[in-house]
Amino acid sequence: MSNEAPDPSRRRFLTGAATVVGGVGAVFAAVPFLGFLKPNVEARAVGAPIEVDVSKLAEGQRLEFEWKGSPVWVISRTQEHLNYLEDEAVLRGRLRDPDSEEDQQPEYARNLYRSVSPEVLVVSPVCTHLGCIVVYYPGIEPQPFDNDWKGGFFCACHGAMYDMSGRVYSGTPAPSNLEVPPHRFVGDDKLVIGEDPEDPEQEVEAT
């Protein structure tokens, strides 16, 4: 057994190292979605597909990614959101392009949900007016900019509004719906942004 006195500097180093490791662990515990598969910066810039695990995506939640140098949001719509989208009497008369006739989405996403899945929206949050990033307002409740808000997106720059499918409201400055990038599902848990479905005809039917 050694009779040497403990080295205070070594003790401080070990304590500091343990604190750093513990801090890193806390960060990963607080941000569980950092485990998603992400390509490197160069690959994202040229449009390499992004593979995303959506198994833990809660209703109403939004995840943020980058594809081709621009932001992409993945949003889980609630059943209440879907109910309002499917009730044409609620929103259709307020929308500039309710049938997505403008080419702002792949052909297989030219449907009521503008998606290959009713529950999951994949959308660019870049306002089609002057390129500001819109704000996500999922709540179905009156807002300062709309007393009959059913959830969706609002551009604070100049007042453009979009519904939960990214369809623009009439009477706002944005000329077209939000852009929907190519996307497909692999099973129930993985979403690939930047790739078309292998069989688009089996996806959501146009309405």
Q: Where are the domains of the chain?
A: 39-202
Flag whether the pTM goes above 0.85: no
Q: What pLDDT score does 104 carry?
A: 97
| Of 99, 88, 84, nearest in space to 148 by CA | 84
Average pLDDT over residues 94-121: 96
| Least confident stretch, 25-29, 129-133, 135-139, 200-204 | 25-29
| Alpha-carbon dihedral angle through residues 80, 83, 84, 86, given to the nearest 10 degrees | 160
- Helix (H, G, I), strand (E, B), or coil: what is residue 53? strand
In this structure, which amino acid lies at residue 34? L
| Of 47, 79, 83, nearest in space to 65 by CA | 47
| Of 162, 206, 201, 189, nearest in space to 52 by CA | 189
- Helix (H, G, I), strand (E, B), or coil: what is residue 178? coil
List the strands of the sheet with 152-154, edge to edge. Answer: 135-137, 152-154, 161-162
Can you name the residues that pair with 117 across neighbouring β-strands? 120
Q: What pLDDT score does 36 carry?
A: 40
Fold exhibited by the domain 39-202: Rieske Iron-sulfur Protein (2.102.10)
pLDDT reading at 93 higher than 80: yes
Cα 189 to Cα 39, 51, 75, 105, 186: the distances in Å are 18, 10, 14, 22, 7
pLDDT band at 23 (very low <50, low <70, confident <90, very high): very low
Structure tokens at 154: 């609002």
Residues 28, 22 contacting (CB under 8 angstroms): no
User: For 153-194, how does the pLDDT look when each residue is reduced to its tens digit (9 = 90+)?
Assistant: 999 999 999 999 999 999 999 999 999 999 999 988 899 999
Q: What pLDDT score does 33 carry?
A: 36
